[in-house]
Amino acid sequence: MSRALARATKGKKVYELRKSYRGQKMTIIGAIKLSGVVATQTLEGSMKKEDFLQLIKLDLLPKLKKGDVVVMDN
């Protein structure tokens, strides 16, 4: 386990590179509305642009109705 804090001489910054996670990285994305879950996708690793566009095109768009609003948050 790495230290959360470090010390440096006055006027200097401490830099340390360390992994922010251990093990296998999983990405989970989903869309919900008042009636429940609309679309979900689980990926090993990080989500790429192509993965996101595929979720929108194949899972989300066919289930949206006129007047639905999509809000994205990262």
Task: Give the tokens for residue 8.
Answer: 């440096």
pTM score, whole prediction: 0.61
Which amino acid makes up residue 57? Answer: K
**Distance (Å, whole) CA 71 – CA 14:** 39
Question: What does the longest C-alpha to C-alpha distance in the chain come to?
Answer: 61
In the structure, how many helices (H) and strands (E) does the chain have? Answer: 1, 2
| Structure token pair of residue 36 | 């429940």
Q: Is residue 74 packed enough to be buried (19+ CB in 10 Å), middle (13-18) or exposed (0-12)?
A: exposed
pLDDT at residue 3, rounded to an integer:
60
pLDDT beyond 60 at 1: no
How does pLDDT run across 4-26, given as a tens digit for each residue? 677 888 888 887 767 676 788 89
